[in-house]
Chain A
């Protein structure tokens, strides 16, 4: 798998109301990589994700997935949203099965894969529950299972834990890290939380706002055998502080 984002710009509106949201974004993502885009609100990080998902078209530049130009949404790019991530009228299992049945897969296959992916996210017991009967963390795990069930080449996560309480957030980060280690998925995470990005991603791009652009890239080389320990370790805290300072100075220059 090879995702190539080349010199992508995006503006919304026309004429005098035209607003440049993204300027000259370029990066590559390859199989098994976990990448994060970090920025404050207005940095256009969600727009980058929507462009890759094919929900928007770039104003300039191009996005290729395995050499093919991205023109529209497709199941090779699974997506998890922060809000309204599940269909409230479907059970957890039906939500996971949704993409498979949209694709017209056979009943036996759907049942088997649904059970498998619910098990992967540790929610085999919750199969028959409606989203409103699940906690926020469980809902996001179902959403991840649903995105994985159609076997996307890359998983796009748009602030997936942004609406969760701090403690649940931390356990979800550990869950996602384990999932990445065991399944070898390729992921692109959008977050405003530097700690989250550093914990999970091998490559972190820092984005500046107005217009959104990548101003700094870090290759994170930390021992991730124990995330809980990593969170409070010295090198981690130093790196976090350094990046937080960069983000602050970006915002400060705008005040």
Chain B
């Protein structure tokens, strides 16, 4: 039948089902809360969450919190990404450096980053530095090892071709290795950005004056579940936007790899 094939065509679009999945959960949420089966104190309805969100926005704290959290994430992640790139490339191209650093990194990688929080507070106090450091610790080793792996898998033919064309030294790195691994490096950053975003919230739950995580822990103290929901949804949306940003960047900068 015509309508069934049209329907199938609509559902084959990757976005349609994704949006439908979100809408389903939203619908169930609306249904459960409006039926009065659940205490509003535990599960506020979409309307209440929207109100709490707009109120936070009008008071200016929503934007201030988001900016505070985003700043920490970007600062910590930029240091992590910036250091991981040369070290990962060095490990991927040089056996000695790799043998020296890989066991150490593999060990630290398995220490949960949040377990460093007490130490970081003792060392750096309660200001910005311990939070930025936490994000650095939580992402640097993953970033480095994943970049190292990408570099190790550069086909030797690509490097050797450059050598037989008269290339030597640094240009091999910048003009062959770097462009080849660029898509994987961007993907590494995209994946590990998610943990950076998780860690900033954890750090703020422990100690902070502002930030999306801090707002959630304050809301818990006053049993403001609607504000907790606002925090969770905003955190999710910002994370999604960052993810999409990386994907966009990858499509633009590395169209050859798609």
Contacts and interface: CB of A to CB of B under 8 A. Distances in A.
29 contacts: A55-B164, A72-B163, A73-B163, A73-B164, A74-B164, A74-B166, A75-B164, A75-B166, A79-B161, A81-B160, A81-B161, A83-B157, A84-B157, A84-B158, A87-B158, A87-B180, A88-B180, A88-B257, A89-B180, A89-B254, A89-B256, A89-B257, A98-B162, A99-B167, A102-B165, A102-B171, A131-B256, A146-B161, A156-B164
Interface in B143-159: 155, 157-158
Given A75-B166, A81-B157, A89-B254, 12 more contacts: A53-B160, A73-B164, A79-B161, A79-B164, A83-B155, A84-B157, A87-B161, A88-B180, A102-B165, A102-B171, A103-B166, A146-B161
B125 interface: no
Nearest to A103: B166
Contact of A55 (B160, B166, B167): B160
B254 A150 contact: no
Contacts of A88: 180, 256-257
B179 interface: yes
A239 interface: no
A85 B161 contact: yes
A132 interface: yes
Interface of B: 155, 157-158, 160-167, 171, 175-176, 179-180, 182, 254, 256-257
A78 interface: yes
Contacts of B165: 75, 78, 98-99, 102-103, 146-147, 150
A24 to B, nearest CB: 25
A77 interface: yes
A54 B163 CA distance: 9
B171 A87 contact: no
Given A84-B157, A87-B179, A102-B171, A77 B164 contact: yes
B135 to A, nearest CB: 31
A78 B164 contact: yes
User: Which of B166, B171, B176, B257 has the most C-beta atoms of chain A within 10 angstroms of its own C-beta?
Assistant: B166
User: Which of A102, A146, A147, A150 has the most C-beta atoms of chain B within 10 angstroms of its own C-beta?
Assistant: A102
A244 to B, nearest CB: 29
A130 interface: yes
B195 to A, nearest CB: 29
Contacts of B175: 98, 102
A138 B168 CA distance: 27
Nearest to B179: A89
Contacts of B157: 81, 83-85
Shortest Cβ-Cβ A-B pairs, 10 listed = A99-B165, A75-B166, A73-B163, A84-B157, A79-B164, A84-B155, A89-B256, A102-B167, A81-B157, A73-B164
Given A81-B160, A87-B176, A99 B256 contact: no
User: Which of A89, A132, A146, A150 has the most C-beta atoms of chain B within 10 angstroms of its own C-beta?
Assistant: A89
B197 to A, nearest CB: 30
Contacts of B166: 74-75, 99, 102-103, 150
A75 B165 CA distance: 5
Contacts of B161: 79, 81, 85, 87, 146
